[in-house]
Amino acid sequence: MLEVLRVTAYRRLFTAQVVALAGTGLLTVALGLLAYDLAGARAGTVLGTALTIKMLAYVFVAPVMAVLVERVPRKAVLIGADLMRTGIALTLPLVDQVWQIYLLVFILQSASATFTPAFQALIPTLLPRERDYTRALSLSRLAYDLESVLSPILAAALLTFMSFHLLFVGTAVGFLLSAAMVVATPLPPQQITVQRASVLHRTTLGTRIFLGEPTLRGLMALNFVVACGTALVLVNTVVYALELFEGTNTDLAIALACYGAGSMAVALTVPPLLDRVTDRTLMIAGGGVISLGLGLAGVLAAAGQSWVLLLAVWTVLGAGTSMINTPSARLLRRAATSASRAPLFTAQFSLSHACFILTYPIAGWLGATLGQEATAGILAGLATLGVLAALKLWPRGWSPVSGETATVQEAHQ
């Protein structure tokens, strides 16, 4: 897996991703504690709303920005987005009203909605062989998982001697270091083609490719399953840890770390697994794991007695998430041409995060009104429906259509 790091440009971009994710991990913990500081037991509601705003930025800003910056050098796009995120992170410690969280989260995540698709679409150009690309995907998943594990642990250590407000400074440092690594990375020449199609056509191109390919329609259903599991973890872990189990800030960080550990364990095994099983088999099995984990979370919310079992369930949810997310970009790569790669990755970014517009409010608002037991049960039911939809939309034995097929060519006309 590590042999792809011999490619200098990829190694530096991967390092940039790691340090930015470390800062994002601190941000996740700090936002949860800030929400609890301002709203107490209704912290889940605040977080659910803030994360819904984040998803709105991802869904509606990402496609528009992808078109607006398509003629801008990729390095400038990545650096500019990192600098914007740095400025917002340094502003968050000054927040003393809930509405300010919502505004700053929207601006920060709009910058992330510009950075992430541009970054993801760049990797296939640096690693054109599928074998190398698969290993890069596992490394990327591993980076996300290490962030989930190590950042909460780091946050827990820092919280023993400093205010959580200073965690936002750590976030800013991560984004600054990311920008510095991008500056030092040599990138291949950017091929800019003259686009005769309208802005609307180019903005919706990736989505139209998704709708025309059965494999990608199945991916959309599995994206929704991931959103169900992730919403419960990101929105309500603070409620489980601090309210239901009457734990500490450190317990919150440990629970989030267990979620990341489960995902990381799977990411390490995906490359050899995909030599023996199909993407479809692994990803749909991951959906089943998430549904099961959500059901168990509801049982634990009702019992409220076993903290160790809760940590185990969070680990299971992380594992299921990685079983879906790690192979997903392979499907995009196979369905894309060089011209459609950026729109297709942007569409996956937007469509996958659109699912959270539904699941974050369910986790936050229903958690506050119906309770955690009912909320986990509802999310488990929705995740099961997502798995069934994927089985229907993605026929057994169907492989992603090559990016050179008439479907994609038609989308470009």
pLDDT cut 70: percent of the chain above it:
84
**3-state class of 280 per DSSP?**
helix
Positive or negative, the Cα torsion across 209, 212, 216, 218? positive
Is pLDDT above 90 for 12?
no
Exposure b/e, 366-388, CB count within 10 A at least 16 = b: bbbeebbbebbbbbbebbbebbe
Report the pLDDT value the prediction gives residue 194, as an integer from 0 to 100.
Answer: 46
Task: Give 195-249 pLDDT, tens digit per residue.
Answer: 555 545 555 666 677 777 788 888 899 999 999 999 999 888 888 888 888 777 7
> What count of Cα atoms within 13 Å lies in the side-chain half-sphere of residue 168?
23
| Best-predicted range by mean pLDDT (70-79, 127-136, 369-378) | 369-378
More confidently predicted of 21 and 199: 21
**Amino acid sitting at position 116:** T
Q: Which residues make Cβ contacts (< 8 Å) with residue 138, sequence separation at least 6?
A: 1, 267, 268, 270, 271, 326
pLDDT in tens, 112-126: 888 877 887 778 778
Enumerate the domain spans of the chain.
2-412
Average pLDDT of the residues in 283-291: 95
pLDDT band at 153 (very low <50, low <70, confident <90, very high): low
The runs of H, that is alpha helices, within 160-248 are: 167-183, 199-212, 214-239
Q: Helix, strand, coil % (nearest 5) of the chain? A: 85, 0, 15
Tell me how crowded residue 314 is: count the other CB atoms within 10 A of its CB: 28
Question: How far is 291 from 389, CA to CA, in rounded Å?
Answer: 13
Return mean pLDDT, the chain: 80
Query: pLDDT class for 147, splitting at 50, 70, 90?
Result: low
Residue 198 pLDDT:
52
Which of the given ranges, 17-21, 61-65, 160-164, 329-333, has the highest pLDDT on average? 17-21
3-state DSSP assignment of residue 246: coil
Least confident of 234-243, 315-324, 385-394: 234-243
> What is the Rg, in whole angstroms, of the alpha carbon atoms belonging to the chain?
20
Q: Are 319 and 289 in contact (CB under 8 A)?
A: yes
pLDDT for res 312: 94
Structure pTM? 0.70
Give the architecture-level CATH label for domain 2-412.
Up-down Bundle (1.20)
Residue 128 CB burial class (10 angstroms; 0-12, 13-18, ≥19): exposed
Q: How confident is the model at residue 84 (pLDDT cuts 50, 70, 90)?
A: very high
Per residue, the 3-state secondary structure of 284-352, as one string, reads HHHHHHHHHHHHHHHHHHHHCCCHHHHHHHHHHHHHHHHHHHHHHHHHHHHHCCCCCHHHHHHHHHHHH
For 186-197, what is each residue's pLDDT tens digit? 777 655 554 555
On whether the CB atoms of residues 34 and 92 are closer than 8 A, the answer is yes
pLDDT beyond 90 at 100: no
Could you read off the pLDDT of 335-378 as tens digits, one per residue?
766 666 667 777 777 788 788 888 988 888 888 888 899 999 99
* CA atoms of 24 and 26, how far apart (whole Å): 5
Q: Where are the beta strands (DSSP E) in 23-104?
A: none
